[in-house]
Amino acid sequence: MGKILGIDLGTTNSEVAIIEAGKPTIIKSAEGQQYFPSVVAFTKDGEMLVGETAKRQAVTNPEGTVHRIKRKMGTGEKTKVHGKNYSPEQISAFILQKIKKDAEDFLGEKISDAVITVPAYFNDDQRQATKNAGNIAGLTVKRIINEPTAASLAYGLDKKGDHKIAVYDFGGGTFDITLMEVGEGVFEVLSTNGDTKLGGSDMDQALVDYLANEFKKKNEIDLRDDPKSLQRLLESAEKAKMELSSTLQTDINLPYIAVVNNEPKHLEVKLTRAKFEEIISPLINKAEKPCKQALKDAKLKPSDIDYVVLVGGTTRIPLVRKKVEEIFGKKAKRDVDPMECVAIGAAIQAGVLSGEIDDDIVLLDVTPLTLSIETLGSVATELIPRNTTIPTKKSKVFSTAADNQPSVEINVLQGERPMATDNKSLGRFHLDGILPAPRGIPQIEVTFDIDANGIINVSAKDNGTGKEQSINITGSTKLSDEDIERMKQEAEKHAEEDKKRKEKVEIRNNGDALAHTAQKTLDELKEKISDEDKESIEKALKELRETLSKDDSDKIKEQTEELSKVLQKASTAIYQQAAQEAAAQQQAAPQGDNNETWSGHPSGDDKTIDADYEVKDDKKKSDDKKKKD
Amino acid sequence: MSTKKSNDERNNKCDKKTDSLGKELNKLKSEIKKLKQEVKEKDNKLLRSYANLQNYQKTTEKKSQYMENETKKKYLSELIELKELLKKAYEDKDPRAGLKLMLNNLENFFEKEQIKYIDCVGKIFDHNIHHAVTAIEKNDCEDGTILEEIKKGYFIDDKLLRPSQVIVAKKK
């Protein structure tokens, strides 16, 4: 079966969602908005407009614009526009057509099916009319579901056993309260109530009135009389309302809002949440009565309600949520966007019908904590990050930390801390038989393979010899929730000091690597380096090595930089000399067979990661070797 | 004698049949084993590709969050620049020259970003690029003429960034 749209066909705005890769996603309109204004217009030229464009021209063409057609669904009452009669089904169909087209453009495929939501109080005629509207729009309506049911589905409340739910839907223009009972995934409406003339736009208006009255007191001019000022006031009132949902105070500054006696006037108001709440509380209190009535009709006490679900943008206002808590005596669920949850619930229902959401589908586990291995300087180098879905497999190539290092130790770690010692070691093993080679040359490929049961197979393979070693670790994903939480919290707590420790190790590793390079340069290019340069490199190298044996990061860093500087000076001189020689030879023999190439320092393969193994048992050996050199 | 012979013959036949059935059974057994192994491998592959998809979704989400932040940074740093300069202008006794330059800079920035102003006053209302806030009854001009601009509208790359908010004439 093809994809099925989930449509929240609203009074002022409509929204549409679909299941994509198992997840519900909101589809934006062609105009780039999360919603489609439920407005249809017919221009004098006979053009039909739907959504945002219809809304933009509404005041210039009121007789040709149809709003809030949802209120007429099922009545059979015709709307006459430019001499032509339209049924409510037809008008709704135009909205659905626009939604269908934009969704098809977004998805790149034809859509023929939909699940559409309706208010819980819609009767059979109204539901049938909604279904007809879908059919006229070219959609097979697979199911009509109640808006509060859809909202509950978005919260997964169908899977939590038998209980009672209150859905508190406070939108832009209307308020609805629905009490439902759910058992074995079936929703039953117990009672419903509401206020069709109460919504967020009333709050905007109340705020505009307050601002305009305050301005009038000082400037003796009513901003509401000028459409230009009124529009700016309306926009900033809505913005302030939204802002005060997350902050305690906001500034409303409208420069050049009016001109009084040739003098420009600015509106400057500091609005606190407390003042805002004082302005809107009469409106919010209006929602209480319908709730009490709904409880009475369902013969329920507030304490009988198990879950309260919030729908509609107005429920983002803290005072609204406080009121809900006051009425029902419990905190409301709010982790799904209240503006989107009805469309999302419709998409979930659609996904169940189309088989895209399959209850039988295997729920895959994730790795609760990061898996890494220990590398040079006790650093934990990440292979598989936390929250990766399993089964999964990941490889990284590492190298040795010392010349002629015959073996490496793989220490498998679990945890979020950057240093190996702070994490839990799940197991360790050695890979030996590495052929003698300078540090950084051998390629050891480490692979973590976690199967669906959480069993980790860690293998290390020497890409040079093909030699391989591995271990199996069981039970790594079976950590208790407390353990995981504790480990995460510890990582957060120590984040700052851990960062410093890791930096320290990195400075030391950098210094160590540069000392190695410098020694190599001296050995290989002793003939080419001037005595003066040689002396300064040797001096800087000696100093760095001495400091490396102590614990002073700043000094190590400083001396690493110093050594790097003298090395660069020497190599620049070598290049210049080589260039001069080449130029001289070219003059002598233009096609000279100058085969002599400068053999640079061994640099690792591109794939090799700059995180070397710590050398344990071979430290002495390589040090001895260096001494001999 | 003949009975014995026929019995022997029958036994012989039975043995042969048992033999071939045994072989058949072994063949089927090994086939089942093979198929079981195959199903197990396919199952594993399916699980892995499903997990891969989920992990891909996670990284894509992270990447788009990152991209969003990068874009934000670009525009916010322009705004910060403007704020710092506005502060200087505010402290300036005669800020007009400075303000003019700042305005020029902003206009250049918008031009670079392909942002174009929608010229609208005196034109006929177009719902594709204009948003009518009010209509005023007026008979001395064509129906639908834009009388006043409340908020400027802009295009970005020839697509609508935001519509002009306008006051439109309406015949009585």
Residue B150 · residue B136 · CB < 8 Å: no
A222 among known catalytic residues: no
Residue A188 · residue A181 · CB < 8 Å: yes
Strand segments, DSSP code E, in A336-423 are 371-375, 379-384, 392-398, 407-414
Over residues A197-252, the pLDDT tens digits come to 899 999 999 999 999 999 999 998 999 998 889 989 999 999 999 999 999 999 99
For Cα atoms A360, A345, B46, give the angle at the middle one, nearest 5 degrees: 30
Q: Does a structural domain hold residue B128?
A: yes
* Mean local confidence (pLDDT), A482-496: 81
Q: Does a structural domain hold residue B162?
A: yes
Q: Is A608 left (phi over 0), alpha (psi -120 to 50) or beta?
A: beta
Domain that holds residue B145: 115-172
Q: What's the confidence (pLDDT) of residue B32?
A: 95
* Contact flag A53-B127 (C-beta cutoff 8 Å): yes
Considering chain A, what percentage of its residues have pLDDT values greater than 70? 91
Residues 66-95 of B with CB under 8 A from A: none
Residue A366 · residue A390 · CB < 8 Å: yes
| Structure confidence at residue A475 as a pLDDT band (50, 70, 90) | low
* Contact flag A21-B134 (C-beta cutoff 8 Å): no
B163 interfacial to chain A (CB closer than 8 Å): yes
Q: Which tokens sit at B71?
A: 């874009």
Q: What is the DSSP letter of A303?
A: G
Over residues A11-57, the pLDDT tens digits come to 999 999 999 877 899 999 999 899 999 999 999 888 999 999 999 99
Q: How far is A333 from chain B (nearest CA, A)?
A: 25
Over residues A85-123, the pLDDT tens digits come to 999 999 999 999 999 999 999 999 999 999 999 999 999
| Structure confidence at residue A305 as a pLDDT band (50, 70, 90) | very high
* Whole-angstrom distance, CA of residue A305 vs CA of residue A514: 69
Q: What's the confidence (pLDDT) of residue A362?
A: 60
| Structure confidence at residue A476 as a pLDDT band (50, 70, 90) | low
* Mean local confidence (pLDDT), A500-506: 83
Q: What's the confidence (pLDDT) of residue A591?
A: 43
Residue A328 · residue A305 · CB < 8 Å: yes
pTM of the model: 0.72
Strands A468-473 and A456-462, bridge-based pairing: antiparallel
* Whole-angstrom distance, CA of residue A335 vs CA of residue A319: 18
* Whole-angstrom distance, CA of residue A342 vs CA of residue A10: 10
Over residues A360-392, the pLDDT tens digits come to 556 678 888 899 999 988 889 999 998 898 899
* Whole-angstrom distance, CA of residue B46 vs CA of residue B58: 19
Mean pLDDT for chain A overall: 86
Q: Does a structural domain hold residue B50?
A: no
Nearest CB partner across the interface for A56, out of B47, B53, B132 = B132
Q: Does a structural domain hold residue B35?
A: no
* Catalytic residue, candidates A70, A333, A504, A557: A70
Q: Domain tally for chain B?
A: 1
Chain A neighbors of B51, CB-CB under 8 A: 364, 389-392
Q: Is residue A605 pLDDT above 80, yes or no?
A: no
Q: Does a structural domain hold residue B121?
A: yes
| Structure confidence at residue A276 as a pLDDT band (50, 70, 90) | very high
| Closest-CA residue to A391 (of B54, B58, B38) | B54
Q: Does a structural domain hold residue B103?
A: no
CATH of the domain at B124: 2.30.22.10
Strands A140-146 and A113-118, bridge-based pairing: parallel
Question: A296: which residues sit within 8 A by CB, 6+ positions away?
Answer: none
Question: A86: which residues sit within 8 A by CB, 6+ positions away?
Answer: A66, A78, A79, A80
| Structure confidence at residue A624 as a pLDDT band (50, 70, 90) | very low
* Contact flag A452-B44 (C-beta cutoff 8 Å): yes
Q: How far is A185 from chain B (nearest CA, A)?
A: 27
More confident residue, B172 or A618: B172
Q: Does a structural domain hold residue B127?
A: yes
A110-114, A503-507, A516-520, A589-593 — which one is most confidently predicted on average? A110-114
Q: Is residue A600 pLDDT above 80, yes or no?
A: no
* Least trusted range by pLDDT, from A123-137, A138-152, A330-344, A552-566: A552-566
* Whole-angstrom distance, CA of residue B13 vs CA of residue B7: 10
* Least trusted range by pLDDT, from A263-267, A277-281, A438-442: A438-442
B172 interfacial to chain A (CB closer than 8 Å): no
Q: Does a structural domain hold residue B74?
A: no
ipTM of the complex: 0.75
A552 among known catalytic residues: no
| Structure confidence at residue A601 as a pLDDT band (50, 70, 90) | very low
* Contact flag B132-A451 (C-beta cutoff 8 Å): no
